[in-house]
Amino acid sequence: MQRMVDNMKIGRRLNFEEAWKLYEEGEFHSLGHWAHQVRLHKCPADYVSYVVDRNINYSNICVCACRFCAFYRAPDHADGYVLSHEELGNKIEETLSLGGTQILMQGGHHPDLPLSFYEEMLSFIKSRYPIHIHAFSPPEIVHFSKLENISSAHVIAKLRAAGLDSIPGGGAEILVDSVRSRVSPNKCSAGEWLDVMEQAHKQGMRTTATMMFGHLEHPKDRLQHLFALRDLQDRTGGFTAFIPWAFQSKNTAIHRSPETAVSYLRLLAISRLVLDNFDNIQASWVTMGPKVAQVALHFGANDFGSTMIEENVVAAAGVSFRLSTEEIRRIIQTAGFKPRQRTMAYQWVNPKE
């Protein structure tokens, strides 16, 4: 296995069999060590970045009904909502006053709202607030395209014109259709997810990519997911970052015990080793908690994610860690790195910091 890693250093990539062997059999500390070496080599070594943002859910009304989700509400449910422009505006003002540089805005698959609703929402925000809009996800884009009967590429172009700046990598779950058909049968396929991102990248838009693991997939499926992302990144170079996290089961329709921290750290490490064309790998304190997310900074992660001024989706599954900017900076420092605030595109907010 040392030879595989040595090969990586001279630019020879890991293939699927090698990655699987490393993932399955690689000694825990060695795996982490190799991932950490790659991270130090690739990224501005001393820094761990974070973004100050807010996750706004414009609506929780959804016809997708994914089995792993505790957030959605069916149409006509008493707790279903759609945010008004006023509510949206208040949240954004608060975000700006707290030093936020972006909003991450997602919702459910609403059965009735036309594309124009979203275009108006974007224009409303852009006309009033100097904030980066990182919004929707490939499943939402595909949903809009089906409602409007136009291509995903066309949907992206329209949303972009209305003010969309970038697209978060959500809804990826596991990019293997046999898994998707079991956990999220009404959601877009793996191919459709990848296609949306390819279209977005071709139109000059940056996006992230995610993985939610630890539900009904086989560990090999996780690797297949990574290689699918690597291939697309080879073609477009449009992904800024990869964020894996473990499924949280409370209040969902999938009853299994959570992935352990050890499993999460192994997955993070192999992600860093496989995704040799991704600059940034984010630790997930929201799902794993601050202690484990900090340790992840030695297992291949170079970014600590977001301050999450607001977060609803994971909280619905019964996991609600909260961290202030000061706490995040302290965690990064005590891990031995310099904390630095960034934008969505991984530029430093303060060039002199």
Q: Under the rule (CB under 8 A), what is the footprint of other proteins?
A: 2, 28-30, 32-33, 36, 257, 259-263, 265, 288-295, 297-299, 330-331, 334-336
The first and second tokens of residue 288, run together, are 């794993």
Separation of alpha carbons 104 and 78, rounded Å: 25
- Count of H helices and E strands in the chain? 14, 9
* Amino acid of residue 321: F
Residue with tokens 């449910």: 77
Residue 58 or residue 304: which is nearer to other proteins going by CB? 304
The first and second tokens of residue 107, run together, are 């919702």
DSSP string, 38-81: HHHHHS-TTEEEEE-EEEEESB-B-S---TT-SS-B-TT-TT--
Residue 41 or residue 85: which is nearer to other proteins going by CB? 41
Identify the CA nearest to 38 among candidates 332, 303, 340, 276. Answer: 276
Q: Is 254 exposed, middle or buried (0-12, 13-18, 19+ CB in 10 A)?
A: middle
Residue 50 or residue 136: which is nearer to other proteins going by CB? 50
Residue 156 or residue 288: which is nearer to other proteins going by CB? 288
Cα maximum dimension of the chain? 59
In the complex, least distance from residue 250 CB atom to other proteins, rounded to whole angstroms: 13
CB 46 within 8 A of CB 337: yes
Separation of alpha carbons 296 and 290, rounded Å: 10
Pairing of strands 132-135, 207-213: unpaired
In the complex, least distance from residue 336 CB atom to other proteins, rounded to whole angstroms: 5
Residue 30 or residue 236: which is nearer to other proteins going by CB? 30
Residue 228 or residue 286: which is nearer to other proteins going by CB? 286
Residue 39 or residue 143: which is nearer to other proteins going by CB? 39
CB 281 within 8 A of CB 275: yes
Residue 250 or residue 291: which is nearer to other proteins going by CB? 291
In the complex, least distance from residue 2 CB atom to other proteins, rounded to whole angstroms: 7
Q: Is 58 exposed, middle or buried (0-12, 13-18, 19+ CB in 10 A)?
A: buried
In the complex, least distance from residue 110 CB atom to other proteins, rounded to whole angstroms: 35
In the complex, least distance from residue 258 CB atom to other proteins, rounded to whole angstroms: 9
In the complex, least distance from residue 108 CB atom to other proteins, rounded to whole angstroms: 30
Q: Please give the distance of CA 37 from its chain centroid, rounded to a whole number.
A: 23
In the complex, least distance from residue 272 CB atom to other proteins, rounded to whole angstroms: 13
